[in-house]
Structure 1
Amino acid sequence: MKNFFAISTIFFLSFISCNKEKNSVESTSQLPEKTVSTPEKFAIDSVKVDDSLKIDNNLTIAFKSKLLVFSQIKDSILLDSIYAKENIHSTNYSKANLTKELEAKKAAFYTETKNGLKDYKPDFKQTWNNNSDMNVFSNQNDLLTIKYSGDGFTGGAHGYYYEFYKVFDLKNNKTLYLSDILSEQDPKIWSRILMDNFLKNDLGKGQAEMLLVKEIQLNENFYFGKDHLYFLYNQYEITAYAAGPVLIKVPFSAIKPLLKSEFKTRLGL
């Protein structure tokens, strides 16, 4: 009988222990995994102005613009470079101040357009506009690429459109230029590289038929991905207006000897 109680007691304690272990596992599985301390998420806000003004029965002028707001970027030189493409120069790039800047740009557009209409009135209804936009194109490895774009129409045969890209090194608080990426910028070497890749990229597009230049030169309107370096040429830069923007992608594998070692290390090339 004593042996029976002893065995029963051991079995009972083992059962309780197993249940506790099981409950502990189940409870733990319902909790989130322990997180490793990571940097604060890169927050981005924006400000917008979207307005229009009727000048007369046939003409309306409209202004639409968006700016990104980077509250976590504190370096003044870097901020100056970010907003320079939008022709905004300030000592304070807060949301409130950027809104004021956009309102000032709208007022300037309205005034300039109205002053230019003193001796001209459209014969039919139309809208003249000025649009601009700012978007994050990519943000990886502390390399932030911003796409600036815009379009508009103020009479004439056609409107206009543009795209521009800038890359910012958030780790070192600087704007990246070709001089930070390329160890060799010889125009003879690069005109051949760009022309060859332009023709390869153009298959079926017909942009080559509207080429206005014999040689394609490097420009600072670039960005990059994992495998390619991209150059963007806007209308009239190397082709006729009807061709639209021209994007030339150059494989890193083809230009590795022309890249700076620091850049290759940063991208893991």
Structure 2
Amino acid sequence: MKNFFVISITLSLFLFSCNKEKKTVEAASKVKEKTIIVPEKFEVDSVKVDDSLKVDKNLTIAFRSKLLVFNQIKDSALLDSVYARENIHSTNYSKANLTKELEAKKAKFYKETKDGLKDWKPDFKTTWNNNSDMTVYSNRNDLLTVKYSGDGFTGGAHGYYYEFYKVFDLKNNKTLHLSDILTEQDPKIWSRILMDNFLKNDLGKGQAEMLLVKEIPLTENFYLGKDHLYFLYNQYEITAYAAGPVLIKVPFSAIKPLLKSEFKTRLGL
């Protein structure tokens, strides 16, 4: 009887120890699971080329360009779309390859500019240039917005300047288009929306006085803000050169019926 009592106590202690160990392992497992689902930090690198060449005693030509490098984007079709705006098409968008692409663009600019000087050269000291840049405008809700901008001057009455925005859906590996956002793109509806907001945004700017069109068309040059959908029109698109780029912001609250339900859910509208 005494032996039976000792065995019972020993068995109870053993089972208690096993249960305690099991709970500890389960708890540790739950903690481990929680630490795994930490969002990966989105890192962006860049490459630059900044160079100039003195063609003769009066003329210097300069080339400056920067490209972003997205090592964490692996989808080839998405990468093609990211660099298409810069007229770069490759099977490898590594830092080294993108640097080579910029050097090739510089060489092409130098050659084309020098070839164009065979019949005429400036008779005063000046610099002709070609500049381009890529920057991350925003990255929210797995929607990456990249701003492409550039300017330059190669003789003539004035130089040029441009801005272009592209939104990339990192969750679905695709470029975001208006068709992914809007249920309706009827030109009659949107012309009125864009014109009303253009005039509302123009207070004090004077761009409305240089308007070249009667109806403002939708453009794929857009980006997303917290509360607005922004459309960007470059010089000569809807206004005279002197007006500069025109930015029209349309409140999401004013166009909710025209927004796709999945888009509103994603942005929490």
TM-score range, shorter chain: 0.7 to 0.9
Give the drift of 1:141.
1.0
Alignment of 1:187-226 (within 5 A): 187-226=187-226
Give the drift of 1:36.
7.1
Give the drift of 1:37.
4.3
The match for 2:77 is 77
Q: How many residues align?
A: 236
Identity fraction in percent:
89
Measure the CA separation in 2 of the matches of 1:226 and 1:158. Answer: 36
Segments of 5+ residues of structure 1 without an aligned counterpart are: 1-33
Measure the CA separation in 1 of the matches of 2:51 and 2:80. Answer: 26
| 3-state secondary structure, aligned to 2:255 | helix
The match for 2:122 is 122
TM-score (norm: length of structure 2): 0.87
Give the superposed CA RMSD.
1.0
Measure the CA separation in 1 of the matches of 2:150 and 2:199. Answer: 27
Measure the CA separation in 2 of the matches of 1:253 and 1:42. Answer: 30
The match for 2:99 is 99
The match for 2:54 is 54
| 3-state secondary structure, aligned to 2:88 | coil
1:169 aligns with 2:172: no
Measure the CA separation in 2 of the matches of 1:205 and 1:170. Answer: 36
| 3-state secondary structure, aligned to 1:175 | strand
Give CA deviations for 1:61-119 in whole Å, capped at 9, x if unaligned.
00000000000100000000000000000000000000000000000000000000001
Give CA deviations for 1:24-59 in whole Å, capped at 9, x if unaligned.
xxxxxxxxxx97741221111000000000000110
Alignment of 1:23-42 (within 5 A): 37-42=37-42
Measure the CA separation in 2 of the matches of 1:35 and 1:60. Answer: 57
Corresponding letter in the other structure for 1:244: G
Measure the CA separation in 1 of the matches of 2:123 and 2:148. Answer: 34
Give CA deviations for 1:232-259 in whole Å, capped at 9, x if unaligned.
0000000000000000000011100001
TM-score (norm: length of structure 1): 0.87
The match for 2:245 is 245
Give CA deviations for 1:184-234 in whole Å, capped at 9, x if unaligned.
000000000000000000000000000000000000000011110000000
Runs of 4+ that moved beyond 3 A: 34-37
The match for 1:20 is none
Segments of 5+ residues of structure 2 without an aligned counterpart are: 1-33
Corresponding letter in the other structure for 1:109: F
Corresponding letter in the other structure for 2:44: I
| 3-state secondary structure, aligned to 2:133 | strand
